[in-house]
């Protein structure tokens, strides 16, 4: 039986009054598993009102008491690990180990938020000016909104967005991804079980039309977003124009530079993991390898051999190494990109377009694909595909490879494979990538560091996670205090600068 999903507003599951629903699929079988409401504008406003109502009491709750709830959330995530892993695999299509990693990253973000008492501490200076003491406090900003993509249904809403937001004393309205909302809805129930007050977290599912309300609503103070660059720019320009702070994590086309001295076996293993993990549906995937000509043929042969060994299958089959993509529409988009690459002149080394899985013929499967001899003027090697497609660009020198990478408009991550310390250091100094890997294919840092994309991959001033995350979800208040001594208490004169000089 196909279930109809609720909204989560003011601590309760709410049946939407909408007449519009979208299908959510099990990508492994192609079957519809849920009806997702496109909620009404009134319901979005109700969610914001619930968050606004909850804010005064929650923001006044001491931070240590807030983080005690997050301790309980962490424990519940561990207790329900298998359930949540299966749910991520079921609705998103990640292979089991990848789905478990998605939940573990939600746990990591929660653990990072538990550090809030020390990370939102302010600063102070006695006698900043003689007799004048100054203290800086960090305070919550109010009701925040999160707009979530489909590709990490646990990590992004409940690891990147919610934990630090609420640890800092804010409340949040999440617009969950229409394709994959069930993981966030389930984890919101665990927050309630842990003792989070009603209204602190609210989750809606809706179209862009209703989501637009969040960008201009007078009670929303900040927007955190993960998705495409075009939408990120719209969100930033619209929300910032109404005085909101915005962080927009956008598209990527991460490149790895492979030098002649790189050990081919281990390098190929790292690239395979980075290119095809999560079916390539991650903004820190590695879809392009820029390789020196001296080892290009050997590397491509090794990549093809390794890719062909990947087990493609149902997400919740623990033997699977490459699961399906999220839905039929996205599969068709990836196939179109592969065909575009062939038309543009790339060499098709490995073709995953017609891959099927026995017993799951209606699943949204693509096998690993490799396109060689991709050049800068080919869109397939420049634009984000978001699927299991690896492009190979050949270069003569380190300098040529680095220049090609830096000319790409996106700069989420960049990687170099080499045993040469000089070139590794030069790469770190001169790459445009915000997250850099030396022999690390997916250089996403642990959550105490920010997820720091650059160029067209990020719009805003403060990144998610790390100290940036706490700065984004708080605002500073600076208090200067002066106590009159026996002489001054009788004075009738005050300096124009009154303690500021």
| DSSP summary character for residue 322 | B
Q: Which two tokens stand for residue 305?
A: 């051999």
Residue 369's contacts (CB-CB under 8 Å, 6 or more residues apart) are: 338, 348, 350, 351, 352, 353, 388, 389, 390
Cβ atoms of 456 and 100 within 8 Å: the answer is: no
Which sign, positive or negative, has the C-alpha torsion 292, 296, 300, 301? negative
CA distances from 377 to 109, 169, 396, 402 (A): 39, 48, 18, 16
Question: What are φ and ψ of residue 396, in 5° steps?
Answer: -90, -40
Q: Which two tokens stand for residue 472?
A: 């984004």
Cβ atoms of 272 and 303 within 8 Å: the answer is: yes
CA distances from 488 to 235, 379, 481, 495, 498 (A): 53, 73, 15, 12, 12
Place of tokens 């938020």: 113
Cβ atoms of 366 and 387 within 8 Å: the answer is: yes
Residue 73's contacts (CB-CB under 8 Å, 6 or more residues apart) are: 110, 163, 190, 191, 194, 196
Strand spans (E) along 243-287: 245-249, 255-258
Could you give the CA distance from residue 286 to residue 366 in angstroms, rounded to a whole number?
17
Q: Annotated catalytic, 283?
A: yes
- Which residue is catalytic, options 165, 250, 283, 391? 283
Catalytic machinery residues = 283
């Amino acid at each position: 039986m196909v279930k109809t999903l609720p909204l989560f507003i003011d601590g309760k599951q709410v049946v939407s009054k909408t007449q519009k629903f979208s299908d959510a699929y099990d990508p492994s079988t192609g079957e519809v598993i849920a009806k997702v409401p496109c909620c009404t504008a009134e319901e979005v406003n109700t969610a914001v009102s619930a968050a606004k109502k909850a804010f005064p009491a929650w923001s006044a709750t001491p931070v240590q008491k807030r983080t005690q709830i997050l301790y309980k959330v962490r424990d519940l995530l561990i207790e329900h690990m298998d359930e949540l892993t299966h749910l991520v695999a079921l609705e998103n299509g990640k292979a089991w180990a990848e789905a478990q990693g998605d939940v573990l990253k939600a746990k990591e973000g929660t653990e990072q938020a538990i550090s809030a008492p020390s990370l939102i501490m302010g600063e102070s200076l006695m006698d900043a000016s003689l007799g004048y003491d100054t203290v800086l406090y960090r305070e919550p900003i109010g009701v925040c909104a999160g707009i979530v993509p489909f590709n990490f249904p646990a990590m992004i809403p409940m690891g990147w967005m919610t934990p630090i937001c609420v640890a800092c004393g804010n409340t949040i309205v999440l617009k969950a991804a229409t394709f994959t909302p069930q993981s966030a809805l389930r984890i919101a129930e665990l927050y309630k079980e842990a003792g989070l007050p009603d209204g602190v977290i609210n989750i809606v599912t809706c179209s862009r039309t209703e989501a637009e309300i969040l960008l201009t609503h007078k009670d929303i103070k900040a927007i955190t977003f993960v998705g495409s660059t075009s939408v990120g720019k719209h969100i930033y320009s619209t929300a910032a124009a109404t005085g909101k702070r915005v962080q927009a994590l956008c598209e990527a086309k991460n490149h790895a530079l492979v030098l002649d001295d790189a050990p081919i076996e281990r390098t190929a293993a790292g690239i395979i993991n980075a290119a095809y993990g999560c079916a390539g549906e991650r903004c820190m995937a590695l879809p392009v390898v820029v390789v020196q000509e001296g080892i290009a043929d050997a590397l491509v042969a090794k990549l093809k051999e390794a890719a062909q060994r990947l087990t493609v299958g149902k997400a919740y089959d623990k033997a699977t190494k490459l699961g399906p993509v999220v839905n039929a529409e996205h599969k068709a988009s990836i196939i179109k990109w592969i065909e575009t690459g062939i038309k543009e002149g790339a060499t098709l080394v490995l073709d995953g377009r017609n891959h099927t899985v026995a017993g799951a013929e209606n699943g949204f499967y693509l096998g690993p694909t490799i396109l060689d001899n991709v050049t800068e003027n080919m869109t397939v090697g420049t634009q984000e595909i978001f699927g299991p497609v690896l492009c190979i660009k050949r270069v003569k020198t380190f300098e040529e490879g680095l220049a090609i990478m830096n000319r790409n408009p996106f700069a989420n991550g960049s990687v170099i494979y080499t045993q040469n310390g000089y070139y590794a250091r030069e790469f770190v100094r001169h790459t445009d990538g915000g997250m850099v890997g030396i022999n690390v294919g997916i250089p996403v840092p642990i959550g105490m560091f920010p997820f720091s994309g650059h160029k067209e991959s990020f719009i805003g001033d403060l990144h998610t996670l790390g100290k940036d995350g706490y700065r984004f979800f708080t605002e500073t208040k600076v208090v200067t205090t002066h106590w009159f001594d026996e002489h001054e208490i009788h004075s009738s004169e005050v300096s124009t600068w009154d303690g500021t000089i």
